[in-house]
Amino acid sequence: MRQKAVIGMSDMIESFIEEARAVSLSVAAVTFERLAARGAEWTGPCPQMGGTDAYAVNVIKGVWNCRKCGTGGHDAISLAAHECGYDLSARAGFLGACAAVLGRPVPDGENSESAEEQREREDRLAKARAEAEARAATAAKHKQYYRTKAMNKARGIYFGAALVRPGEGRTLREYLRLRTGHVMPEGVFENIRCDLRHTYWHGIDQFGRPAHIYSGPAMIAPFVDLSGKVLGCHETWIDLKVKPKRRPEILDDDGATLPTKKMQGLHKGMIIPVLGDLTLKRWVVAEGIENVAAVAGLERFRSDTFYCAAGSLGNLAGPAANREKHPIQKRIDKRGVERSVFVDGPLPKPDADPASAFQAPEHVEELVLIGDGDSEPLMTAFAMKRAELRLSAPGRVVTTDWPPKTAGDFSELCMDGADG
Ligand SMILES: [Zn+2]
């Protein structure tokens, strides 16, 4: 009779490790419930450091990473170590991670972590989690504080600006006429206000206080939520003498041109009402105030339409599902190497936060989006496609109107007739 082969303990450990190594990342992602509801990539809080989306597991690419910890990997064992707080540089930690992958204890108790080590690891993990939660709570409180402060400041700017009554506000009326080619109806000035000596703050002075570097007339428009409450404002400085945009040249200390439009308070997810009421069933939305006002003029200020501006292309289009390589554009990096240029793609990000871009209320049946020929064509085309897709709804027609090829935008198209 032949003697039965004896398998040594070290062999058992080795085969245990081999077995854990053979487990794919996607299987471990199932074990730890890290599968995305949609798409290939799950994102969420780090099990140790918290946060919201620092931790990502992509089963298609077979990779995970955590921005909070600054770690990542391609295998199940490293993922398990991150999940359970094991230190892979220690033998006991490595075996613990293998055990977590396989869902059964290490065959030889000698090699695995002691009860005390396990308690220490679990304590460490619990403490790190509690600290992360406390930090997140403090950060959220601070964020809310600054948000409220910025919102109140913006409301102060808007309500502090002069209401333009019939016969008043020549500068603002003239600015809009020159930029749109149309005399604005009084309804526009129920929303848009004017401040004749509006301060431009930029940088800090020698005493560390905010510095005012310019003062002049400005158009002050509100950013409102879908109930019409003012939560932010949009400032546009005006200088009627400066053609063609009728805006002053404001320079910083180094002589660089500063933007003559600013947004204050809440603006993402908000809209700038220009003419008409939010309750109307037809909405026309452009990126800029001047553009939507020009379109309103071309349409003879339809009484069945709410004309509004998103304030920025991002707020109009919303976040993208992915970025796409630009077929033509290239950029040269710091080392002089030609690189591809990526633009936000045409598909909206699934499950995007509704606060990340303006929303159209359910009652809107016709939504006309105004394209802008001023910017890079592919980027803009993708952005408008995203807006169309994310804002479409049953029983609603969503279209995009583009200015003729010869004009940059509708404002420019109408301006030619108004210059004088
Ligand atoms: Zn982490």
How many angstroms does the Cα of residue 80 sit away from the middle of ligand 1? 11
Residue 377: partners with Cβ closer than 8 Å, 6 or more residues away: none
Give me the mean pLDDT over the 12-31 stretch.
92
- Those residues with Cβ within 8 angstroms of residue 413's Cβ, 6 or more apart along the chain or in another chain: 294, 403, 404, 407
Cα(269) to ligand 1 centroid in Å equals 30
**CA–centroid distance, residue 302 to ligand 1 (Å):** 55
The C-alpha atoms of residue 384 and residue 316 are separated, in whole angstroms, by 8
CA of 48 to the centre of ligand 1 (A): 6
Query: Token digits for 315?
Result: 């707020």
Q: Of residues 414 and 57, which shows the higher confidence score?
A: 57
Continuous segment of H or E residues that includes residue 201: strand 193-204
**Whole-angstrom Cα distance, residue 52 to residue 224?**
27
User: What pLDDT sits at residue 269?
Assistant: 96
Question: What residues flank ion ligand 1 with Cβ within 5 A?
Answer: 46, 66, 68-69
pLDDT of residue 295: 96
Range(s) within the chain of domains with CATH label 3.90.580? 9-113
Contact 188, 177 (CB under 8 A): no
Average pLDDT over residues 168-195: 96
121 Cα: distance to centroid of ligand 1 (angstroms) = 15
69 C-alpha to ligand 1 centroid (Å): 4
Examine the pLDDT at 79 and tell me if it is beyond 50.
yes
Query: Is pLDDT of 4 > 60?
Result: no
How confident is the model at residue 1, as a pLDDT?
44
- Enumerate the H helices of 170-328 as residue ranges: 170-180, 289-298, 313-317
pLDDT higher for 39 or 225? Answer: 225
* Spacing, Cα 79 to ligand 1 middle (Å): 10
Whether 188 has a pLDDT exceeding 70, the answer reads yes
Q: How far apart are CA 162 and CA 12, in angstroms?
A: 82
| pLDDT tens by residue, 288-346 | 999 999 999 999 999 999 999 999 999 999 999 999 999 888 899 888 999 999 999 99
Do 29 and 55 contact (CB within 8 A), yes or no?
no
So what's the pLDDT on residue 313? 94
Residue 12 is predicted with a pLDDT of 87
d(CA 290, CA 309): 9
Determine the distance separating the centroid of ligand 1 and the alpha carbon of 55, expressed in angstroms.
Answer: 6
CA distance 61 to 40: 8
CA of 54 to the centre of ligand 1 (A): 7
Mean pLDDT (whole number) for 178-197: 96
- Reported ipTM exceeds the 0.90 cut: yes
Categorize the per-residue pLDDT at 262 as very low, low, confident or very high, splitting at 50, 70 and 90: very high
* Interatomic CA distance for residues 360 and 404, integer angstroms: 26
Q: How far is the CA of 129 from the centre of ligand 1 (A)?
A: 10
pLDDT at residue number 165? 95
Q: Which two tokens stand for residue 264?
A: 């204050």
pLDDT tens-digit series, residues 363-404: 999 999 999 877 888 999 999 999 999 999 999 999 999 988
Distance CA 366, CA 393 (A): 10
Q: Are 154 and 233 in contact (CB under 8 A)?
A: yes
343 CA distance to ligand 1 centroid (A)? Answer: 29
Q: Note the residue count of the chain.
A: 420
How far away, in angstroms, is 75 Cα from ligand 1 center? 15
What's the pLDDT at 375? 80
Q: What is each CA distance from 273 to 228, 229, 405, in whole angstroms?
A: 9, 11, 27
What is the CATH architecture assignment of 9-113?
Alpha-Beta Complex (3.90)
Residues with Cβ within 8 Å of residue 223, at least 6 apart in sequence: 154, 230, 231, 232, 233, 234, 263, 265, 266, 267, 270, 271, 272, 311
Q: Parallel, antiparallel, or unpaired: how do β-strands 305-309 and 272-275 relate?
A: antiparallel
* 111 — pLDDT class (breaks 50, 70, 90): low
Q: Give me ligand 1 centre to Cα 84, in Å.
A: 10
Q: 12: CA distance to ligand 1 center in Å?
A: 31
What are the tens digits of pLDDT across the range 234-261? 999 999 999 999 999 999 888 999 999 9
199 within 8 A of 128, measured Cβ to Cβ? no
- What spacing in Å lies between the alpha carbon of 34 and ligand 1's midpoint? 13
Q: How confident is the model at residue 417 (pLDDT cuts 50, 70, 90)?
A: low
Report the alpha-carbon distance of residue 28 to residue 32 in Å, rounded.
6
